[in-house]
Structure 1
Amino acid sequence: MLRILFGADDLARVRVAERPDMSMELSLSVHALVNGLRDPRFEAWRDHLRASWSPRTALLFDLFTPSAIPEFLTVRRDPGATESATAATPEAPLREHLRAVGGERQLSAFARGVAAGERRAREVLGHVTAEYQTQAIDPYRRQIETIVTTEHGRRRRLTEPDRVLGSLHPAVSWRRPVLSFPLANGCRHDVRLDGRGLLLQPCVFGPRRPVIARFEDPSQQPVLLYPARIGGPLRAEPEPAPSRTLTALLGQTRAAALESVAVHGPCSTKELAARLGVSTASASEHATVLADSGLTVKGRTGRTVTHRLTPLGEALLAGHLPALGAGRESA
């Protein structure tokens, strides 16, 4: 049994995530494969994955056990950035996680190399994570985002923290000031929030019962991962990728930012950062360059800055730029 103990200020700091955590979605999806869980909603996903599977991607399985899920795998919008970020994971979380894996079974040569900080093993880890992302996550991004944002809206309408916590999952019991649910291994563990509050993160690939993450570091807000409501089968729906010409002109991230604003409509800097898989500061910098170039325009709703496409941005995406030099030649 896991018991999450709320202090006097913790209820006011409970919130439901507005967007998916793609890094966790990737880890949880691998965990589902490791555990061999069957669910009709994921059959099309499994079939698509089976058809495009690279044998080397199975190295990721060496980092998992039925009860151990790594929290250090990193997903970015661009798989190249995923590869770099995952390969550069700090050693402490890697070693701590793999020590736990080693307590359940013998580590593979690959896992031992990752735990030892071997450069080649780290490079392979980054590569296989990025490769798996392109197969298992990227084609489903829009559907995952829709499922999670819908779940956020559903929970947000409940308004009161007691109602939110009491309706999370059939296995979850909420009796102030304790939220509790059974653990898969039958152990008992208490987690004290101590003023950190709790982030409720709906997950598409989440296990059938909630899982708590990021609770051991007192500087981090604990995250309770719980299965989001999925209406139907998960099916591949690739996002339109920016053209090579647009990418060469603007760069990978700015081209993706412009495409995102075009596809999803006006958005805040925070929303843009989540879609791109970059920090808010980085998203703000890219958005400023796009605005200064006349491709987007900034607006303000209350204290929130929003970004929307301009006619010039639409023309650039459509490949129909105005002939800017025509007037000079005829003059």
Structure 2
Amino acid sequence: MAVQMDQVLSCLAEQRPIFHSEADFQHGLAWQFRCMNPDSSIRLETRPFRGVRLDLLVHVDGVRIAIELKYLLAGFNGVVAGEKYELPSQAAQDISRHDVVKDVVRLERLVAEGWADVGWSVTLTNDSGYWRPGRKLDPIDASFRLHEGRLLSGTLGWAAHAGSGTTHKRDLPLALTGTYECLWRDYSTVTDARGREAAFRYLCLAVAGTEGEQAVDSRTNATVAEADPRLGLLLAGANAREEILEAAKMLAAHAHDGTFTLTEIIAEIRRRGSRYAEGTVRTHVVSRMCVNAPDHHATVYADLERVGPARYRLVG
């Protein structure tokens, strides 16, 4: 079953339009993934690196999805679907924006080093200050702003006049490999105890690919070629796809039924001395180049068809 984060969150919103905490949101999203993909494997709070905890690691349809979550709150007091909710006003939006970008940097590392094939940063909030442009002329967190239409790229850091209380343990610049467009989506609308409506919206930033190649969901982020022409060349010119196709053709020619496995593709790519990491090859085979794989990318190719567990054949 194809995994689309928008679809997962839309289904989740029908059951859980609001959460008590980030941990509640984490558990709810994991449960929704499992309901929609019964054969998936889901782990919470894994530790891929020392000192790093990943909110969710989902294995579904041969794809490893790393997910980082943020639940950023304005105050809310009310009863929703018969359940009482008392949400605090968290404030500190500048720090929270920084931490969202830090999540993306972390996901880029996880994907680049082969711990995951796809990464998702998911931010859910009822605080409109995150999706609306601020009014301050020179905010200390200008680099980390997440308002609608904002492009995140390059090395981001605090403004020079940021205080040490804000930047404590967050003083190092954050370097993004990819370019990400902030496009907010409606999640739910709930009514508080005074009869006022509160809108929840979410932001998804997608990460995939390695060695500077940034693949993004067409409904969530800007396309690579538009965001960065240098990265667009990787998609349009000689790349991992061409090397994988050459290896696949050779393997298919020597197989009695014309099929081959992901392991055989990786081994052949290595034998040929390819510069591409295993994570890149895996992502291309199981997702980008496969016609019946989960749809994660803006740019996909109908090159391969999955005919069994980790087994493929050429299309056409």
Is the structural similarity TM-score above 0.5? Answer: no
TM-score range, shorter chain: under 0.3
Structure with more relative contact order (C-alpha pairs < 8 Å, separation 6 or more): 1
Question: Normalization by structure 2: what TM-score?
Answer: 0.23
TM-score (norm 1): 0.22
Question: Is the strand fraction higher in 1 or 2?
Answer: 2
Structure with the higher helix share, 1 or 2:
1
